Amino acid sequence: MKLTRRSFGKLAGSGLAAAAMPGVFSPAIAQTGPLKIGILAPRSGVAGTAGECGIRAVQWAAERMNKEGGIAGRPIQLVIEEETNPKDTIERFRRLILQEKVESVHGLISTGVSLGVAPVAEEERSLFVMWDGTTQDGVKETMPDPKFVFRSTDNECEAVMGSLLAVKYFKGKFKRVAGINPDYSYGRNNWEAFKQILTRFGVQAEFVAEQWPKVGTLDLTSHVAALKAEKPDLIFSSMLFADLPVFMKQGAAAGLFDGVKVVLPAAGWQLNQLKKEFMPEGVIFGHNTLYFDYAQGSALQKAFVADYMDRYKEAPHWEADRAYFALAAYKAGVEAAQKAGGKWPTPDAVAQSIPGIEIESLGGKGRFRKDKIAEQVFYQGPSTNNNKYDFPTLAEVDVFQAEQLQKPAGVDFWEWIKTGKMPV
């Protein structure tokens, strides 16, 4: 049964009848006691490693913030639910706000799921701060003017940066280009953006192959063989789930990468699984909004990375930054709204306060724009296996701001790709 505000009020009994009245229920009624924040993230399946890293980071953030007084004096209590398919995740979202009475929900990795959950958050007037899941379909057609939903940086940002770095490091060194990308909007958008950016910057290349494996495909030998048969000089792949390490391992075994340039703009999600034994040198390797080994990282970043690696014996990736950023932005918005109003703020007041506040996150400073899309720092560069880890790090760290990589508010992404200002 679909759990709505009205049906929940009936189920809960006459004592909660107000919850059945549209516009009356608000998750921010309580002003004392723990401040409950819902988390929706995958813990298994192809996106499980991403979700688990985000959960670990938000737990670390909540513990750290609670030691410093919580949010506006209230201790943070996380209520974690799993992100799975859109239908079940929507029901879990409703349960968080209607039964658990959380005051905000954070998370989500999949664009397909976020497209379902975000409109429900608007309907329920519930603050929802997304970690990820923001392809162009999500920001253009479905949620053009959200009031309560705060979205991550455009998911295509990493492909734009990877494309620009391919121009920077590889221009003149390749003629035949092949792509292998996940068969859904993210992969198709990234491949198209890559092709258009090469053309825009005068790179003469022949696109000789396109492969579109379904997400989660773990036998990629036929795709590897098809790519190898075309003898590319450069391979672009925005694969980012558990299938990416499989592709790199199977490709290396087949000699696919011998003498071939490789661009992996979203590789950071799988950095712990991308072992030196099958990773070529000099890959354009994307870490998105958190590079764990950045020498110029803040004291906050270094404290988090040290704690994370000591506890989990692996390196954190960008979903940790997204989770921390979501909680820190919400905290800043609540405290700004409370200070302005002199009382515990409503969701409307918090939503109006968040945009424009500068947030120190794990990957650097960021903020939400007025259209509620995040602007954060991005890290990529050519990789090296010459390090103390069993996976590649960056030989050179290129750092871009999100405003260099994503379209301005109100501008069409594909028009911006063709004519917008970009770093060379």
CA-to-CA dists, residue 407 to 75, 189, 260, 349, 418, angstroms: 37, 14, 31, 27, 11
DSSP E strands in 102-232: the ranges are: 104-107, 128-130, 149-150, 176-180, 206-211
Quote the tokens at residue 241.
Answer: 């789930």
Place of tokens 């939503």: 351
The domain that contains 51 carries what CATH number?
A: 3.40.50.2300
The answer to whether residue 20 is domain-embedded is: no
What is the residue range of 336's domain?
35-155+297-375
The answer to whether residue 399 is domain-embedded is: yes
The answer to whether residue 25 is domain-embedded is: no
The answer to whether residue 106 is domain-embedded is: yes
pLDDT of residue 281: 98
The answer to whether 55 and 43 have CB atoms below 8 angstroms apart is yes
Q: Which helix (H) or strand (E) holds 324?
A: helix 318-341
The answer to whether residue 3 is domain-embedded is: no
pLDDT of residue 135: 79
pLDDT of residue 111: 85
Instruction: Give the predicted TM-score (pTM) of the model.
Output: 0.91
Q: Are residues 164 and 307 in the same domain?
A: no
Q: Are residues 291 and 151 in the same domain?
A: no
Q: Are residues 220 and 290 in the same domain?
A: yes
pLDDT by residue for the chain (424 residues), tens digit each? 344 433 333 333 333 333 333 333 344 444 679 999 999 999 988 888 899 999 999 999 999 999 999 999 999 999 999 999 999 999 999 999 999 999 999 999 988 898 899 999 999 999 999 999 887 765 455 666 899 999 999 999 999 999 999 999 999 999 999 999 999 889 999 999 999 999 999 999 999 999 999 988 989 999 999 999 999 999 999 999 999 999 999 999 999 999 999 999 999 999 999 999 999 999 999 999 999 999 999 999 999 999 999 999 999 999 999 999 999 999 999 999 999 999 999 999 999 999 999 999 999 999 999 999 999 999 999 999 999 999 999 999 999 999 999 999 888 899 999 999 888 7
The number of folded domains in the chain is 2
Q: Are residues 56 and 114 in the same domain?
A: yes
Residues 63, 60: Cα–Cα separation, whole Å: 5
pLDDT of residue 12: 35
Q: Are residues 144 and 282 in the same domain?
A: no
- CA dihedral of residues 85, 91, 97, 99 (deg, nearest 10): -140
The answer to whether residue 11 is domain-embedded is: no
Phi, psi of 192 (to 5 degrees): -65, -40
**Sign of the C-alpha dihedral computed for residues 96, 54, 180 and 225 taken in this order:** negative
Q: Are residues 383 and 246 in the same domain?
A: yes
The answer to whether 215 and 183 have CB atoms below 8 angstroms apart is yes
